[in-house]
Structure 1
């Protein structure tokens, strides 16, 4: 029996965790492992460790399959990476950085870059074929009007996969950063300033990150009595 040590890392962005059921299958050069449950409560930034037992060694692990099963309510999951340590072998990394939604299966390759000509194993060639077909369906073009550039064959941006559209999480991060910098400029006096700049040094008090911002430092000085 061969035992593989697996670490599954959830992304550290907001709402990356899930309460849906997540499981994993290791795909090696000479066979596949049984589908093994990772858990149904994964939290942002968490690294979950588990053992995957096989009746025999799988050879070099070239793919991992992540299975997501929706339980009652949909709860998307953002996987950062998977690390696999085979018996008497170094750790192999499988970077993911993708959202899994609904009931789905995602195949993740080992992190070293490979060209099509490098794929000697049938399982890798088949995975590449499936991935290409899926991308062709996801990014199918249509003609909006004669003479216009082609556009995606979707009626709304909501139909797009979360991995290719500007997500709600990113939108909140963007708006949060915008509000923070607006407040910073307001407190520094920049947004309410009506008088002209007196020098570059005065501007530095607002825009220099190295020196920080003196609150009110760029407000007009009171006129001497």
Structure 2
């Protein structure tokens, strides 16, 4: 009987915790463990400890599978990392830093630096890499916005993107706040309401110097004759 000690860490960002069911499967070079359920109620910044019992030694742990199951309502979970200690004391680290949404199984590769990769020896790692590339190719496709314009992502809105490629709610709120501030500033200075051409560079400089864009106004200097 081989016993593995597992520590699962939840990120410390806003709403990172979850009440949904989370379980884990350890995958080694000699086999894999049974799916083991972790305790519920994951709080932001918390860590959960559990033991995984296997009938035999799994060999080097090459990846893990995190299974998320929705009990009643959807409650996304942000996994920071997972650390697995083998029976011989070897520590395996699995950095994740991803959101898990809905009913999903996420495979995470072992993240320790190695001098020699074992991808060519283990078919399961080859398959994992192939599925990862296919998923990225499907998620990130290009489309032509307009003839002569640079291509853009084939989505109608940033909300259609996966949560892991969107800005965090804190960063998004910061951007929206900065945008509202700049629009208000330009409205008060008369920039947004101006419908005629600029009369001089001094007029442009007088408007931009009242906002954080004063560096732009400072660049509006005619070169000497």
Q: TM over 0.5, yes or no?
A: yes
CA deviations on 1:25-76 (whole Å, 9 max, x unpaired) are 0000011100110122100011100001111111100001101111221111
**Shift, 1:168, TM fit:** 1.7
Shift of 1:117: 6.3
SS at match of 2:6: strand
CA contact (8 A) 1:21 1:40 kept: yes
Contact 1:15 1:169 in 2 (8 A): no
- Shift of residue 116 of structure 1? 10
Matches within 5 A, 1:1-225: 1-113=1-113, 118-119=118-119, 120-172=121-173, 174=174
4+ runs deviating over 6 angstroms: 114-117
- Structure 1 residue runs of 5 or longer lacking an equivalent are 179-225
Q: Secondary structure at the match of 2:129?
A: helix
C-alpha displacement at 1:118, in angstroms? 4.3
CA RMSD, Structure 1 to Structure 2 (Å): 2.2
Task: Please give the alpha-carbon distance, in whole angstroms, between the structure 1 residues aligned to 2:150 and 2:126.
Answer: 33
Per the normalisation by structure 1, the TM-score is: 0.73
Q: Do the aligned partners of residues 33 and 100 (structure 1) sit closer, same or farther apart at CA in structure 2, a change above 3 Å counting?
A: same
CA offset at residue 91 of structure 1? 1.1
- Once the two structures are TM-superposed, the CA of residue 171 in structure 1 deviates from its matched residue by 2.9
User: How many Å apart are 1:14 and its aligned residue?
Assistant: 1.3
5+ long unaligned stretches in structure 2: 179-225
Aligned partners of 2:126 and 2:72: how far apart in 1? 35
Q: Aligned in 2, Cα 1:148/1:115: closer, same or farther, shift over 3 Å?
A: farther
